[in-house]
Structure 1
């Protein structure tokens, strides 16, 4: 049976969603974040990087959300329910699978880090400097970058029902966490098509089952 090493409040929720969409049986090994929000050391016994998600299947141990989603699609989605077959849509599919973690998520992580520089666990004597530095980097670089990406996504979803075309695919599953993080902590208004996309995700029975299995997904806004 497929085993998912699942960290609470993490990107591994995407793997649970994919498994539910494919109606595959699986079991979950659960891990809780430490007080500093880092993954516990126990995950290093599963994979050297000590990160989640990790998927085990037939002796295979696989990390990285995108690689896991592609593996599940190629191995278990014989009817291509979660991957378009038209050449142009396949290119869209590939782009969004890589864009999610390659372009958008690093900016959102940087946003979270720089917004935290004025708060614990930063030493008390450095918090004022950290706050000024964090605000400066956000204003000079991050906010403008996130605005560009948000408008790009909004424009794309104006003309597309889902990221790779007119139906749900693994590209949407991969994009789910960064889009939700962008809406939560990006500080950008007037994104009706992105918000409508998230509502469609929230309404999917497979997403709801994944939340029941993995626990509530609450992506924090700016700390």
Structure 2
């Protein structure tokens, strides 16, 4: 049986969702974040040397990195579901999105988080300097990169319902976390300009398997 080593309120929520979509039996080993740092606990290093989540164990195998975990589960346990036919053009597109989600889309979002954290945790005497430096990085690099990627994603959904085509796939599960994270802080702002992505988020949140995964994984910031 697959065991998901699940860090509370994290990108490993996608793995639970994938398993629910496939209707597979699994167990959840839940880990709580350090209350001071917000990072994963040291206990996760007993599962994988990097001590990060998600990680799964499948009998004697340990598999880390979300993209590989998703690809592994679909190949080993999916029975042809949630992925286009291997060797097809559609499968190449599907594989692209699996890698793009963490390889290209997440870095500018993580940089945003890092600089927001620096601003918040810098001692107040040095905070004006930290904010000035952080503001320039955000303005000159992070914000343009975010716009570049989200304009690209929005355009992809203008002609189709899902990222790998008109059928829901594991690629949509992989892309869910960065899209949810980016849009969650913007929903209260008018004129955000990404109606296709907003519809995508609404559609995934309405899926029964998504809701079941929330019940298994616990509170998740981007679920509503």
User: Do these two structures clear the TM 0.5 threshold for a shared fold by scoring above it?
Assistant: yes
In structure 2, stretches of 5+ residues that fail to align are none
In structure 1, stretches of 5+ residues that fail to align are none
User: Residue 27 of structure 1 aligns to a residue in which SS?
Assistant: strand
Q: Distance in 2 between matches of 1:6 and 1:111?
A: 24
State the aligned residue count: 218
2:94 matched to which residue of 1?
A: 93
2:109 matched to which residue of 1?
A: 108
User: Residue 198 of structure 2 aligns to a residue in which SS?
Assistant: helix
1:198 matched to which residue of 2?
A: 201
- Deviation of the 1:166 alpha carbon: 0.9
1:218 matched to which residue of 2?
A: 221
| CA RMSD between the two structures | 1.6
1:189 matched to which residue of 2?
A: 192
TM-score (norm 2): 0.93
Kept after mapping to 2: 8 A contact 1:116/1:134:
no
Q: Deviations over 1:84-108 (max 9, x none)?
A: 1272211210110000000010110
TM-score (norm 1): 0.93
Kept after mapping to 2: 8 A contact 1:13/1:214:
yes
1:27 matched to which residue of 2?
A: 27
Q: Distance in 1 between matches of 2:99 and 2:89?
A: 16
Q: Distance in 2 between matches of 1:115 and 1:52?
A: 22
User: Residue 11 of structure 1 aligns to a residue in which SS?
Assistant: coil
Q: Deviations over 1:131-183 (max 9, x none)?
A: 11111110111101101111100000111211101111110111010111121
Q: Deviations over 1:47-102 (max 9, x none)?
A: 10000011001100111011111110111111x22001272211210110000000
Q: Distance in 2 between matches of 1:145 and 1:40?
A: 31
- Deviation of the 1:185 alpha carbon: 4.1
